[in-house]
């Protein structure tokens, strides 16, 4: 596997991986969506095109098989999405009350959840990481995430946060291994945080 920066041309691959790792536990969410493009449009594609985002992809002999995407400045990315991303999607996905995963993603497009300012003070960066099953469990996640932590620190962010569903115990164990700690909360989504330190976040040389 090689690691390289994401480009706008990676958008379809990011959206596809987002769908195929989209369930609460990081499994394939294809069966939850009548429109397979929706979840990627909501959670992955903005990171391929926003000037506030940065990311890396893991590429093997079959193509892009994993990504880590994020931003050093969550508030700036949220503002950019409000101005440049959500308006075009809203007419395409009309509001719905459906109590389904697809319905929840559509409601996110119409009323995106804003990050807690109390978390952003010390941890203004955030990211998402998703690997197709063929890349999981071989150190690729660690390589991608440590590459991202270095890049976020180099961009000046003092700390990083992310949300993860409590049911995704594998991902939570992975984040703990990579130095993240939990913020107290009773939500279904857990918030994990980590300070960023350029000298400490040494990435492995390769897989
Ligand atoms: C979660 C995910 C990113 C982890 O990446 P990965 O490549 O599978 O993890 P790695 O092989 O790089 O593991 C890195 C470290 O975490 C540890 N780790 C990973 N999974 C673990 C688990 N279930 N329990 C304990 N430790 C675990 C590894 O042992 C390894 O430790 P080491 O540094 O001592 O060797 C990846 O499995 C994935 O994309 N899953 C599906 C989508 C998903 O859940 N994304 C997260 C949404 S919030």
Angle between helical axes of 169-177 and 140-154 (0-180°, round to 10): 60
Q: How far is the CA of 178 from the centre of ligand 1 (A)?
A: 9
CB atoms within 10 A of CB 49: 15
- Is 63 contained in some domain? yes
- Is 84 contained in some domain? yes
- Ligand 1 pocket: which of 24, 134, 142 to mutate (most atoms within 8 A of CB): 142
Report the pLDDT averaged over residues 161-168: 96
Give the lowest-confidence range in 95-104, 150-159, 185-194: 185-194
Longest dimension (CA), the chain: 48
CA distances from 140 to 56, 147, 151, 187 (A): 12, 11, 17, 29
- Is 207 contained in some domain? no
- Total domain count, the chain: 1
- Is 203 contained in some domain? no
Task: Measure the CA–CA gap between 32 and 24, rounded to whole angstroms.
Answer: 11
- What tens digit of pLDDT does each residue of 44-90 get? 999 999 999 999 999 999 999 999 999 999 999 999 999 999 999 99
Residues in the chain: 207
pLDDT in the model for residue 188: 84
- What tens digit of pLDDT does each residue of 113-150 get? 999 999 999 999 999 999 999 999 999 999 999 999 99
Report the pLDDT averaged over residues 89-98: 97
- Is 205 contained in some domain? no
Q: How confident is the model at residue 182 (pLDDT cuts 50, 70, 90)?
A: very high
Q: How far is the CA of 21 from the centre of ligand 1 (A)?
A: 13
- What tens digit of pLDDT does each residue of 24-56 get? 999 999 999 999 999 999 999 999 999 999 999
Q: How far is the CA of 102 from the centre of ligand 1 (A)?
A: 26
pLDDT in the model for residue 14: 98
Dihedral pair phi/psi, residue 162, rounded to 5°? -155, 160
CATH classification at residue 22: 3.40.630.30
Q: How far is the CA of 25 from the centre of ligand 1 (A)?
A: 12
CA distances from 164 to 31, 44, 80, 114, 172 (A): 21, 15, 23, 15, 7
CA distances from 79 to 16, 54, 75, 94 (A): 25, 16, 6, 21
Residues with beta carbon inside 6 Å of ligand 1? 21, 26, 129-131, 136-142, 164, 168, 170-171, 173-174, 177
Q: How far is the CA of 179 from the centre of ligand 1 (A)?
A: 13
- Is 206 contained in some domain? no
CA-wise closest residue to 162 among 23, 43, 11, 3: 43
Q: How far is the CA of 141 from the centre of ligand 1 (A)?
A: 6
Contact 161, 119 (CB under 8 A): yes
pLDDT in the model for residue 184: 85
Q: How confident is the model at residue 207 (pLDDT cuts 50, 70, 90)?
A: low
Report the pLDDT averaged over residues 159-183: 97
Nearest atom in ligand 1 to 142's CA = 12
Residue with CA nearest ligand 1 atom 31: 177
Nearest atom in ligand 1 to 164's CA = 48
Question: What is the domain extent for residue 60?
Answer: 2-195
């Amino acid at each position: 596997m090689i690691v390289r920066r994401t480009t706008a041309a990676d958008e379809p691959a990011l959206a596809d991986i987002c769908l195929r790792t989209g369930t609460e536990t990081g499994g394939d969410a294809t069966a939850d969506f009548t429109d397979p493009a929706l979840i990627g449009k909501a959670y992955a594609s903005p990171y391929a095109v926003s000037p506030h985002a940065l990311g890396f992809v893991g590429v093997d002999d079959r193509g892009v098989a994993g990504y880590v995407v994020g931003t050093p400045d969550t508030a700036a990315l949220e503002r950019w999405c409000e101005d440049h991303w959500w308006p075009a999607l809203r007419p395409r996905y009309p509001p719905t009350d459906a109590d389904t995963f697809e319905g929840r993603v559509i409601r996110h497009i119409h009323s995106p959840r804003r990050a807690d300012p109390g978390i952003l003070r010390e941890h203004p960066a955030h990211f998402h990481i998703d690997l197709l099953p063929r890349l999981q469990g071989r150190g690729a996640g660690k390589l991608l995430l440590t590459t991202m932590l270095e890049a976020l620190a180099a961009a000046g962010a003092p700390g990083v946060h992310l949300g993860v569903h409590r049911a995704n115990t594998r991902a939570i164990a992975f984040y703990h291994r990579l130095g993240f700690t939990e913020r107290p909360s009773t939500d279904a989504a857990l918030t994990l945080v980590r300070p960023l330190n350029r000298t400490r976040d040494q990435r492995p040389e390769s897989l």
